[in-house]
Amino acid sequence: MGPFAFATSLFLFLIEICQQVDGIASKCDIYKGKWVFDASYPLYNSSNCPFIHQEFNCQNNGRPDRLYQNFRWQPTSCNLPRFNGKDFLRKFRGKRIMFVGDSLGLNQWQSLTCLLHTATPQDPYISQRVAAISTFSFPTYGVSIMFLRNAFLVDIVNEKDRRVLKLNSIGNGRIWKGYDVLIFDTWHWWLLTGRKQPWDYVQDNNITRKDMNRTVAYKKALRTWARWVNLNVDPAKTKVFFQGVSPDHVDSRDWADPTAKTYRGETWPILSTEYPGGSPSPQDVLKRVLRSVSKKVHLLDITGLSQLRKDGHPSAFGYGGHRGNDCTHWCLPGVPDTWNELLFATLIQT
């Protein structure tokens, strides 16, 4: 194919993609809708994704049911384009995308790498980890998808044999520069206490404490992150997303089922459009902080739709096997694949 023919083909392809998502942002809220059964899902099989992490590979870990893989997110007033890995790679040829956050960011990063690899299984890929950065790249397209584990976004610094969580410092932000797309997340690690807590003290400006209200600390850290975005991001070069708070399902009263004690054994989503338990307070904090950012930041508002998926967690079929009880992460294939469909639709729209 000559240069002119290739350019024409690419132009027509981009028009087609734009037509698919035309009006999504203006005509409807893609985050409002419900889950519908669709036998054409899932978008890939976990057996075709050889690098999938054990903690997300529920089928390989012995989960006996499969229906949780067959649900598609249907917005109320429009249709969400089906994820197409080849289209994604063509559109983002030569681009670098980085996820920054905790294991929920890892969950979404892992989903995206599986979606792309299974769409182009004949194309070579390179998977490597250097220090805290995991990179999955497609040399044919020049596309790199990175994940940087940074559960708090702000810094944890060793000072005099003690680990200090600094709510006003983002030294690691230098690593985030130069990417075409950034997707951030944080929340779940703010709740850890005891031996699981990765810091000994928390510092707010010049005041160092043994502990403080975790939601307040989370809010202060988000404000520090917001200042970093305002100072360092050029919206013409970098698209910034923040993954909404990914819900867990601990108490069945939250989804109005007094007969079930926990989500364990759940095999069916909530098929209504609203979650009985309401929005979690950290999500409300996040929304308020994002409204204060002067640069354009897209909220990947996955909280409400994910709340409806009490069936989507690994439960006893995650990393810990039957000894574990994971109500935080998500099976793959599963809910994070929808997060990436929403991400791709928004990227194309913007």
At 330-346, the pLDDT tens digits run 999 999 999 999 999 99
Pairwise CA distance, residues 182 & 176, whole Å: 8
278 confidence band (pLDDT: 50, 70, 90): confident
Distance CA 42, CA 336 (A): 11
Paired tokens of 181: 């797309």
Q: Write phi, then psi, for 210 (nearest 5 degrees).
A: -70, -30
**70 has a pLDDT exceeding 80:** yes
> Which of the residues are catalytic?
103, 326, 329
Segments forming the whole domain that contains residue 329: 33-151+174-185+215-349
Answer yes or no: is pLDDT of 263 > 70. Answer: no
Helix axis angle, 335-349 to 3-21, nearest 10°: 110
Q: What is the rounded average pLDDT of the residues 49-67?
A: 94
Taking CA atoms, 317 is separated from 54, 195, 333, in Å, by 9, 24, 13
Cis peptide before 75 (omega within 30 of 0): no
Cβ-Cβ contacts under 8 Å for 228 (sequence gap 6 or more): 170, 173
Q: Which pLDDT band, with edges at 50, 70 and 90, does 226 fall under?
A: very high
Q: How far apart are CA 109 and CA 105, in angstroms?
A: 6
What is the mean pLDDT of the segment spanning 302-324?
86
User: Per residue in 83-128, pLDDT tens?
Assistant: 999 999 999 999 999 999 999 999 999 999 999 999 999 999 999 9
Has residue 27 been placed in a domain? no
Mean pLDDT taken over the chain: 90
Query: CA nearest 110: which of 178, 39, 54?
Result: 54
CB-based burial, 31-59: b 16+ in 10 Å, e otherwise: bebbbeeeeebbbbebeebeebeebbbbb
Helix, strand or coil, per DSSP, at residue 247:
coil
Residue 30 scores a pLDDT above 80: yes
**pLDDT (tens digit per residue) in 208-217:** 999 999 999 9
pLDDT of residue 265: 77
How many domains are there within the chain?
1
Residue 18 to residues 13, 59, 86, 347, Cα–Cα distance (Å): 9, 35, 15, 10
Average pLDDT over residues 299-322: 89
Label residue 320 by pLDDT band (50, 70, 90).
Answer: low
Greater pLDDT, 158 or 322: 158
Residue 18 burial (C-beta neighbours within 10 Å; 0-12, 13-18, 19+): exposed
Sequence-distant (6+) residues with CB within 8 A of 223 are 289, 292
Residue 257: inside a domain, yes or no? yes
Q: Which residues contact 303 (CB under 8 A, 6 or more apart)?
A: 244, 245, 246, 247, 279, 280, 283
Would you say residue 25 has pLDDT above 50?
no
* pLDDT reported for residue 340: 98
Q: Among residues of the chain, what percentage have pLDDT more than 90? A: 79
Q: Residue 268 domain-assigned?
A: yes
Contact 344, 85 (CB under 8 A): no
Residue 4 placed within a domain:
no
pTM of the model: 0.91
pLDDT at 14: 47
- Over pLDDT 70: what percentage of the chain? 89
Q: What are the structure tokens assigned to 265, written together?
A: 């054994």
The reported pLDDT for the residue numbered 250 is: 80
Mean pLDDT calculated for residue range 283-298:
97
Choice between 316 and 300, residue whose per-residue pLDDT is larger:
300
In Å, what is the CA distance from 318 to each residue of 62, 118, 136, 270? 9, 22, 23, 22
Q: Is residue 258 pLDDT above 60, yes or no?
A: yes
Q: Is residue 51 part of a domain?
A: yes
63 vs 24, residue with greater confidence? 63
Quote the pLDDT of residue 28: 84
Q: What separation in angstroms does the CA of 240 have from each of 77, 228, 296, 302, 346?
A: 25, 12, 7, 15, 11
